[in-house]
Structure 1
Amino acid sequence: MSDDQDLAPPVEKFLGATSIADHLGVTRSAVNKWRDRYPVDSSHPFPAPDIETDGVPGWHPSRLKEIEKWREGMPGTGRQLSPAEQVVERMLEASDEYVVATYEARLKRLSEDRRRLPGHRVVFGYLRTNPRTSLTTHRAYMDQLEDAGCDIVRAERMAGNDLTEGFFDLVDHMESGDVLMIPRAYQLSRLQGIARRGVEAVEARGASVEYLYGVGPTGTA
């Protein structure tokens, strides 16, 4: 081995989206979507890469803790609840099992329905309430969305103002001509800029947004 080879600096290694995904136990697609959905100008920006070569980002291994902390602080995750809220959450965990199962079952039937009824417009409903919202009010929102004709309803109870993975998961199932129905305009987000991002995501699928007014008591969401 030559002296030049002996003196060559060690090659510094960086982690790509795949390595970060493996560390977090998610898919590479999830990491890429986080970067797209939480840009530097968002309220919860994804940690910026240390390098970028030919458009491929890389993070130093020492940044893993930072990325883990970022994920824990994502909208709807990592929030410490009060004892009273913990009681409510335990009630919800039991009662929401049926809601989650129904949502997932309807999504599975969706592709079959689209094949059977080509061109059929699917009406999606999206509901997001604060954890402090009563269970009764939360259910009332869901009932009125279904009464308004929603075929599939995605309901979430979480704090924060940013758009969530649950919202984008629902949008990912939308096709041209579909409709996303939301109870009251500010249900999508209390921040106008973020609400605009949500509408743009829906319209990018060729779908549209409709607002269901007069749902639930004022100021409960």
Structure 2
Amino acid sequence: MLSVADIAVMFNVEPKTVSMWRLRYPEFPEPDVIVGGMAGWDPDRAEELRVWESRRPGQGRRAMLAEHVQETLRRTFVFRFMRPDDFSWAPIDFPGIEYEDGLLADGMQTKAAEHLIGALRDQGCEIVFKDPATDVTQAVQRVLWDRWTAEEVGEHEFIGRLFDDHGRIYHGCTAFDAASYTLQRLAALGGEIRPGRGLSPQMPGRKPR
């Protein structure tokens, strides 16, 4: 039998959230058994539970927020990280970035990760991880500059370095791709970008030099 805890794992939520769903939504699938006050669902009903969760009230808002976060990240890449008035493969550029002989100077990958984190925070977004001990800057640096494996991000997914040592985005990638791959890789590390209250869809302006 599937327990409340098992269902919570299915949907990556806390068991108390599943219990709340049962109380809040009358249409939540009824358990097959209740033993000692503990509810249980036949494993064959897993798909029924998934269908219910996909149609749960509030899912539309969740999808809208996810799209909003991705668009905010894309615009942040364009206007606060890359060069909006140049080719997409031009080296990244923001106040404080330094190059030596065409390569990012020492410490610039870390500085770039910190800059992206700060630029997102300016837009009302925060990068958070399930493990609070995760070093956010190191994680973002890995997202942007490390190679990945199919085991980490899935088969047929892009596993190359998103940016190279020259500060250039992988040839053929766009800011939209950068946003998609960043979210995908953060998720693989147990992280996500959460919108703060009052997040608006306004385009972030480019900070003066």
**Structures share a fold, TM > 0.5?**
no
Q: Which has the higher contact order (CA 8 A, sep 6+)?
A: 2
TM-score where L is the length of structure 1: 0.30
TM-score where L is the length of structure 2: 0.32
